[in-house]
Amino acid sequence: MLKSQRQKDFVFDSVIYVVLFIIMLTMLYPFYYVLIASFNKGSDSLLGGVYLWPRNFTLENYRVFMDDPKWVKAFLVSVLRTVSGTLLGLLLTSIVAYGLSHRDLLFSKVYFTVIVFAMYFSGGLIPYYVVLRSLGLLNSFAVYIIPSMLSTFFLLIAISFFREIPAELKESAHIDGAGELTIFFRIILPVSTPVLATMALFMGVGQWNSWLDSAYFVQSEELRTLAFRMMEVINKSNSPMDSLAVANSASAGVTSFSLQVTSMVVSIVPIICVYPFLQKYFVSGIMLGSVKG
């Protein structure tokens, strides 16, 4: 009886594992394909049939891609905006969320109405551009940071997280003589790593991938981001060259497709490297044991 139960469990588990494995493959394979295509000679990829590993290994795609010193600068700008944008965004969003999470806050209904309205409706690109211009943010590094410092969506998530924190925590800190800022920075933030990590990840990815602000609101070449430079490569590879020119350049091995997949790899890798380090913070239950009694 027990044995047959175990057998059933084994079969059931095997089926689940097989299904999950297939799902994992369908998720991972496109990434893998982009990776091998970026290491394969472009003109060879056009012939099709490259599925498992590069048939005609080359680093030429990366050489052409990185040939431009602009890339290093763009990479630094992207790193800087991602780090500073994420940190400042976290700080402001969590401060505002903490304030709004107080249930006895005056006019809280009004504030929430404003926030929810702002989350669903926006003025559109042109009014936004005009606002940025009148604030003097155009063509400056600040345009990457300031507008995205407060995200209404994360604000709501953080508010509901802070409301889950037992009031006794704050009260016991008060009794021990801590002020609001001390409570926020030394008690509330340390027990909020799950929500902070989640917000940091999404804000960071958003900052890293953002190219629109670099395209529309910045003209200085010094301030261009990596994502913008990649858009440039993809745009240029759509250049309507005549077919003779295409044939000539394809014989050199690099094609528009191979450049596009290379730019994808370059943009994905840093985020994939950061992800595992944030993963460990997605741990619920961090609050357990924080309240004695």
Q: Does the footprint of other proteins cover residue 150 (CB under 8 A)?
A: yes
Q: Does the footprint of other proteins cover residue 102 (CB under 8 A)?
A: yes
Closer to other proteins by Cβ: residue 75 or 111: 111
Q: How far is the CB of 237 from other proteins (least distance, A)?
A: 8
DSSP 8-state code for residue 238: T
Q: How far is the CB of 114 from other proteins (least distance, A)?
A: 8
Binding mask 111-140 for other proteins (x = CB under 8 A): x--xx--xx-xxxxxxxxxxxxxxx-xxx-
Q: Using CB under 8 A, pick the residue from 22, 46, 59, 269 that binds other proteins.
A: 46
Q: Does the footprint of other proteins cover residue 239 (CB under 8 A)?
A: yes
Q: Using CB under 8 A, pick the residue from 92, 187, 205, 268 that binds other proteins.
A: 92
Question: Which stretch, 21-29, 157-165, 179-187, 190-198, contacts other proteins (CB under 8 A)?
Answer: 179-187
Closer to other proteins by Cβ: residue 39 or 224: 224
Question: Can you tell me the distance from the alpha carbon of 168 to that of 56, in angstroms, rounded to the nearest whole number?
Answer: 65
Question: Can you tell me the distance from the alpha carbon of 43 to that of 174, in angstroms, rounded to the nearest whole number?
Answer: 69
Phi and psi, residue 207, nearest 5°? -65, -45
Which residue is associated with the tokens 């619920």? 284
Which residues make Cβ contacts (< 8 Å) with residue 183, sequence separation at least 6? 170, 173, 174
Question: Can you tell me the distance from the alpha carbon of 225 to that of 144, in angstroms, rounded to the nearest whole number?
Answer: 10
Closer to other proteins by Cβ: residue 249 or 274: 249
Quickly list H helices, the chain.
2-38, 42-45, 60-66, 70-101, 108-120, 125-134, 142-145, 152-164, 167-175, 180-182, 193-209, 212-216, 226-236, 243-250, 256-279
Closer to other proteins by Cβ: residue 235 or 284: 235
Q: How far is the CB of 122 from other proteins (least distance, A)?
A: 5
Length of the chain: 293
Please state, in angstroms and as integers, the Cα–Cα distance from residue 264 to each residue in 31, 225, 230, 274, following that order.
Answer: 9, 15, 8, 16
Instruction: Tell which positions 12-41 bind other proteins, by CB under 8 A.
Output: none
Binding mask 195-224 for other proteins (x = CB under 8 A): ----------------x---xx--xx----
Q: Using CB under 8 A, pick the residue from 52, 181, 273, 288 that binds other proteins.
A: 181
Binding mask 53-82 for other proteins (x = CB under 8 A): ------------------------------
Question: Cβ–Cβ contacts within 10 Å for residue 73, how many?
Answer: 17
